[in-house]
Amino acid sequence: MKKITKAVFPVGGMGTRFLPATKSIPKEMLPIIDKPLIQYAVEEAIEAGITTLIFITSASKHAISDHFDPKPLLREKFFKEGKQHLLDKLHTIPNEITRVFVPQGEPLGLGHAVLQAKEIVGDEYFAVILADDFIKPKGTNATKQLIEVALEKSASVVSVEQVDEERVSQYGIVDIAKIHGLTNEIKSIVEKPSLADAPSNLGVIGRYILSPEVFDFLEQTKSDKGGEIQLTDALAGLLNKPENFYASKLNGKRFDCGHKLGYIQATIDASLDDEEISAKIQNFIKDRI
């Protein structure tokens, strides 16, 4: 298998849970302290060896493209003023990294968004990264962990973790053939089952390494009742042959920043790791309690 060097970032959703903030700001641009979610995701991808970033976006979401613009005039201003600390903050992406922006048209689901990357991805394995899953790694970052598994197995692999019973119906849920370490072959996968129908409590989270054959399955996948093409439904097609699709348990702490609680928890956690403000945040929390 070739190196895995392309990552797809579906960022065309409407972010309705964070209205009115997301009327004009993509939810992926919401900051954890002073850095937006999308930048954390991009940095994770680059650290994992990704060199081509494919953003599946909407016509109204210029903020993400603007964020990764080199801003030469502002850079020159800070350079002349000797403000190196501000220059460093402008360096959001290395020059050698390729950025591609693809309009989704309509927000017709995660599967539809991924399908828009078909021509750019070609016949290579690729990553899919959902920026609103903010992940604090324990050692190897989540995307790199999956890339290593995909290269070893020559197969697609998704990141999973145990989810609370009340949230099972909000996830794609996998059943694994047998438990052996962190990575196991997937026996079945189902999109948002009821708790009674769920084969397990292992939920697929926002990190994937996928074979290009998934595009064929996406093209055959019918829209659900809400008119969306679900990626999970297409992934079930990967079970057409053995040793073709694996689940790897996340080695890290995930915060679901697609919801208010997860977003606030991620912000608090990051602030407690920030040397500048950690002590004051701890005191503030103690005072509030």
Query: 6-258 maps to which CATH number?
Result: 3.90.550.10
Q: pTM, whole model, 2 decimals?
A: 0.92
The DSSP code for 257 is T
The yes-or-no verdict on residue 108 having pLDDT over 90 is no
d(CA 110, CA 230): 6
pLDDT of residue 91: 78
On whether the CB atoms of residues 174 and 199 are closer than 8 A, the answer is yes
pLDDT of residue 86: 82
d(CA 258, CA 255): 9
Average pLDDT over residues 89-116: 88
Which sequence spans correspond to the domains of the chain? 6-258
pLDDT of residue 23: 84
Phi, psi of 78 (to 5 degrees): -65, -35
To which H or E segment does residue 255 belong?
Answer: strand 252-256
Percent pLDDT > 70 in the chain is 99
Average pLDDT over residues 195-221: 93
The yes-or-no verdict on residue 61 having pLDDT over 80 is no
Tell me, letter by letter, the H, E, C secondary structure of 142-187.
HHHHHHHHHHHHCCEEEEEEECCHHHHHHCEEEEECCCCCCEEEEE
Contacts 24+ apart (CB under 8 A), 175-181: 175/199, 175/200, 175/202, 176/200, 176/202, 176/247
Binned at pLDDT 50, 70 and 90, residue 223 comes out as confident
Tell me what the pLDDT averaged over the chain comes to: 90
* Most confident residue range from 58-62, 222-226, 266-270: 266-270
Average pLDDT over residues 268-277: 94
Phi, psi of 88 (to 5 degrees): -60, -35
On whether the CB atoms of residues 263 and 30 are closer than 8 A, the answer is yes
